[in-house]
Structure 1
Amino acid sequence: MRLLLLFSLIAGLPAAAETVVATRTIRAQEIIGPDAVRGDAGGNTGVKLDDIIGMEARVALYPGRPILTAHVMPPALIARNQIVELVFETGGLRITSEARALDRGAVGERIRVMNIASHVNLFGTVSPDGSVHVSQ
């Protein structure tokens, strides 16, 4: 009985939900600034304003339309065709080489790179310093 009473009290409370919408057109691959978005009352996309600011748009975002988590990603640190440092570390051994990025990538993402010296394609993880670490 108490559980039913508690549930009816909770269900009767108004939901305080917020939807994040674009205030202007945001192009794909553009970093979203605080002037480009605002929080609107009503609706619930599960996205907070603080979670969107500083992210990169995956697709074009239009004014007045809600922004979902699928529309944004962390900002890319490495651009396609950029020359990056390729690092392989195991035990006490560290091998570095230059590589060309074949994909765009943010910190922590796996991207394809091509070793410039050997022309071998590898997968590696983007590090905060802009290098790509490969593992076995």
Structure 2
Amino acid sequence: MRRLALFLGAAASLLAAGPVFAGPVTLKANPVDEDGRVTLGDLFDGAGSAANVVVASRAGPSVVFDAGQLQAAALRSGLQWDNPRNLGRVVVRASMASPVVATASPGTPTAARPGATAEILTYARNIATGDIIQPEDVVWTTVQAHLATTGGPRDAEQAIGLSAKRPLRAGAAVASRDLASPQVIARNDMVEVAYEVGGVRLTVTGRATRSAAIGEPVTVLNTTSSKTIDAIATGPGRAIAGPAAQSARANALLASR
């Protein structure tokens, strides 16, 4: 009887300490929240008793999670999300049924009536030139409507993953003109250029004469023949030339919109 009592006591202690086994959950296809409090139930199907656990507050139209941090937060509440699609980030947006707040939409010009406010995207820390914007680097901030500037992204996801063109200070409004696609090829990098036509693929390696982001033109010097090749950057140390180059550039422009 004493052993049974000790066993039951130990089991009770483990249960009180938190979830021992993690139940599998599935990320919702389009996570939304209705009141600015983002819960595990807003994010996952099958959250069960952990559905009401709040993991973030949404001040603007969306909130962005780093997938790894979200995975850890779910696990702390006994939920196992395997991230089968290897997502880098997860975006939760305001539900269409969310209460209407007397503020202007981010980036939308507003009459500067007394007391009017607007939500704008700002930097949470000082950003150095070349830094890649991460989900935790931007936050929605409420300002007086007359201080809200145009030209800022309407969604945090439009800024995340881009590179800073210049130093940016914490608290400053995010402006599209200050950000660009990150460079994947630097000047003097060795680049493999592929030429594809009619099902035939040829490659040559040369030295980049300029830096480029994905979808940008890059001239590559063939160090053997001393001839230059006009190509389009497709990834770190990679570019494509010939008929497929324009398609690669068009696809990159479409993805950036």
Band of TM-score, shorter chain: 0.7 to 0.9
User: 168, 191, 204: which one pairs with 1:61?
Assistant: 168
Letter in 2 for 1:19: I
Question: What is the deviation of 1:95?
Answer: 2.1
Work out the CA distance in 1 between the residues paired with 2:103 and 2:135: 28
Partner of 2:206: 99
Question: What is the deviation of 1:130?
Answer: 4.2
Partner of 1:29: 130
Provide the aligned length of Structure 1 versus Structure 2: 124
Of 37-46 and 24-33, deviating more is: 37-46
Letter in 2 for 1:60: P
Q: Which has the higher contact order (CA 8 A, sep 6+)?
A: 1
Q: Note if contact 1:102-1:114 (Cα within 8 Å) is conserved in structure 2.
A: yes
Partner of 1:7: none
Question: What is the deviation of 1:122?
Answer: 2.5
Letter in 1 for 2:104: A
Q: Which runs of 4+ in 1 moved over 4 A?
A: none
Mapped pair 1:84 → 2:185: no
Work out the CA distance in 1 between the residues paired with 2:182 and 2:236: 14
Q: Note if contact 1:98-1:117 (Cα within 8 Å) is conserved in structure 2.
A: no
Question: What is the deviation of 1:37?
Answer: 2.0
Question: What is the deviation of 1:98?
Answer: 0.6
Mapped pair 1:38 → 2:139: yes
Scaled by the length of structure 1, the TM-score of the pair is: 0.77
User: 117, 124, 127: which one pairs with 2:224?
Assistant: 117
Kindly tell me: are residues 33 and 92 of structure 1, through their superposed partners in 2, closer, same or farther at Cα, counting changes over 3 Å?
Answer: closer
Q: Note if contact 2:185-2:235 (Cα within 8 Å) is conserved in structure 1.
A: no
Scaled by the length of structure 2, the TM-score of the pair is: 0.44
Kindly tell me: are residues 50 and 81 of structure 1, through their superposed partners in 2, closer, same or farther at Cα, counting changes over 3 Å?
Answer: same
Mapped pair 1:19 → 2:126: no
| Long gaps (5+) in structure 2 | 1-101, 107-118, 244-257
Q: Note if contact 2:165-2:179 (Cα within 8 Å) is conserved in structure 1.
A: yes
Aligned residues: CA RMSD: 2.1
Question: What is the deviation of 1:135?
Answer: 1.8
Work out the CA distance in 1 between the residues paired with 2:201 and 2:229: 17
* 1:58-104 deviations in Å (ceiling 9; x for gaps): 11111222121111112222222111101112224322111111222
SS in 2 for 1:77: strand
Work out the CA distance in 2 between the residues paired with 1:76 and 1:92: 29
Task: Report the structure number with the largest CA radius of gyration.
Answer: 2
Of 98-107 and 39-48, deviating more is: 39-48
Identity of aligned residues (%): 29
